[in-house]
Chains A and B, each alone.
Chain A
Amino acid sequence: MRHPRARGASRIVVATILALVSAVASAHQESGQAAGFLAGLAHPVSGMDHVLAMIAVGLWGAVLGPPAIWVLPVAFPVVMAFGGLLGLLGIVLPGVEVGIAVSAIVLGAMVATEVRPPVALAAVIVAFFAIFHGHAHGRELPEGTSALLYSLGFVVATGLLHAVGIVLGVAHRWPAGRQLVRVAGGGVALAGLLFLWRAIA
């Protein structure tokens, strides 16, 4: 006959083993969703080159006024996603980092000099650079996260950066604000030069 204390100890051992050995999780919740969305949301703001170019798109839209102010932010995410699709499919795009740096230079210069091309041409310029940004992001999509939520977070963050540019661009209505917006554009262009130097060096 076993001692009651020994029996109790063995029960504790069995209970501990049962508690530590995890059962197979055959149900049900999709994992990594929140992480995927937050990772996507954080991705565009992790690189200053992307951040400045996205804000410059919004600023340029604000400088150009309607309909460019909304055409550019509507067109950019879709074309950028197309670039991302190319990156995901492994289609090589030469000079991606150079393209991103040049996008900051060109878009910043457009804002600084208040160039006002036709809306279609402005959309083409923005779309052209969007492909480089999207391609770079597409190559960087991490494994193991919820791809759709990551993509959604990434697109939403990009859109919000455009919105920041548009809101800042509201200052363009006033003379002092107009000068500030132009200075901001110049700053983006100068930063683009730095990015270009880094990309080439």
Chain B
Amino acid sequence: MKSIGGFGILVAASAIAPAPAHAHLVETGFGAFYDGIAHVAVTPADLLVVVALALLAGQRGTRAARHALFALPIAWFAGGIIGARWPAMAALPLLTTLSFAIAGALVALNASVRDLGVAALAVAAGLLHGLVNGATMAPAGSVGLALAGAVSAIFFVTALLSAEVTALPTGWSRIVVRVAGSWIAASGLLMFGWLVRSAG
């Protein structure tokens, strides 16, 4: 019992304690806007949460997809501005991992999340990942442009995926979406364990 309590404290501390925000904004050579686009492509945690939320929104139908399409990028941008302003509070790998693991699990379960629930999830994930993005982009300068690039990529991926999933007929294609969700959730679980082990 004592060890479980200690483990809980370790996990909570790891989740809250900010790790050093290692800058890893990719330099494409085309400017900050494109660096921001590339950043999403080469940051698996960001890409996975966007994909998972887009799949979830698509599963839940057109209205939910429309909510997510705007809620996620706007929240991401807002989080990015906050993260750039206060970068010290920003690297929370356990929480970002949990965010895409939860979104993936909801997709795998084909969970009946309401439209507003999807939007709330998109806002929470967007703020969290945007916060980390802002902090990592701040040292490279041109945060606004880089964030605009990242948010454009997120909008694009969300629009394409959620629209595709919304239009899918029932049957195998929708099962493939659920399988993709289970893979994302499973990757998140493994990553979570790796982070806790590293923190210990």
Residues of A within 8 A of B (CB): 26-30, 33, 70, 73-75, 77-78, 80-82, 84-90, 138, 141, 146-149, 151-152, 154-156, 159
Q: How far is the CB of A50 from chain B (nearest CB, A)?
A: 15
**Residues of B contacting A159 with CB < 8 Å?**
179, 183
Q: How far is the CB of B91 from chain A (nearest CB, A)?
A: 14
Is B157 part of the binding interface, using a Cβ–Cβ cutoff of 8 Å? no
Return 8 A-B CB contacts under 8 Å, by A number: A33-B42, A78-B182, A87-B193, A89-B7, A146-B44, A148-B191, A151-B190, A155-B187
Q: How many residues on chain B are close to A (CB under 8 Å)?
A: 33
**Residues of A contacting B23 with CB < 8 Å?**
26-28
Q: How far is the CB of A85 from chain B (nearest CB, A)?
A: 4
Is B54 part of the binding interface, using a Cβ–Cβ cutoff of 8 Å? no
Is B65 part of the binding interface, using a Cβ–Cβ cutoff of 8 Å? no
With A27-B23, A77-B182, A156-B183 already in contact, the answer to whether A90 and B190 are too (CB < 8 A) is no
Instruction: Judge whether B178 and A81 touch: CB under 8 Å.
Output: no
**Residues of A contacting B185 with CB < 8 Å?**
77-78, 81
**Residues of A contacting B140 with CB < 8 Å?**
27-28
Is B197 part of the binding interface, using a Cβ–Cβ cutoff of 8 Å? yes
Smallest CB-CB A-B distances: 7 pairs: A88-B193, A81-B186, A151-B190, A81-B189, A85-B193, A77-B186, A147-B194
CA of A154 to CA of B97 in the docked complex: distance in angstroms? 17
Instruction: Judge whether A78 and B196 touch: CB under 8 Å.
Output: no
With A74-B108, A74-B182, A78-B182 already in contact, the answer to whether A148 and B187 are too (CB < 8 A) is yes
Instruction: Output the nearest chain B residue to A36 by Cβ-Cβ distance.
Output: B44
**Residues of A contacting B7 with CB < 8 Å?**
89
Instruction: Output the nearest chain A residue to B175 by Cβ-Cβ distance.
Output: A70
Q: Known pairs A29-B26, A86-B193, A152-B183. 18 more at Cβ < 8 A?
A: A27-B27, A28-B25, A30-B24, A33-B44, A74-B175, A74-B178, A81-B190, A82-B189, A84-B189, A85-B189, A85-B193, A87-B193, A88-B193, A89-B196, A138-B193, A141-B194, A154-B190, A156-B183
Instruction: Output the nearest chain B residue to A31 by Cβ-Cβ distance.
Output: B24
CA of A78 to CA of B182 in the docked complex: distance in angstroms? 6
- Set B43, B178, B197: member contacting A70, Cβ < 8 A: B178
Instruction: Judge whether B193 and A148 touch: CB under 8 Å.
Output: no
With A74-B178, A85-B193 already in contact, the answer to whether A30 and B186 are too (CB < 8 A) is no
Is B192 part of the binding interface, using a Cβ–Cβ cutoff of 8 Å? yes
With A28-B25, A84-B189 already in contact, the answer to whether A78 and B105 are too (CB < 8 A) is yes
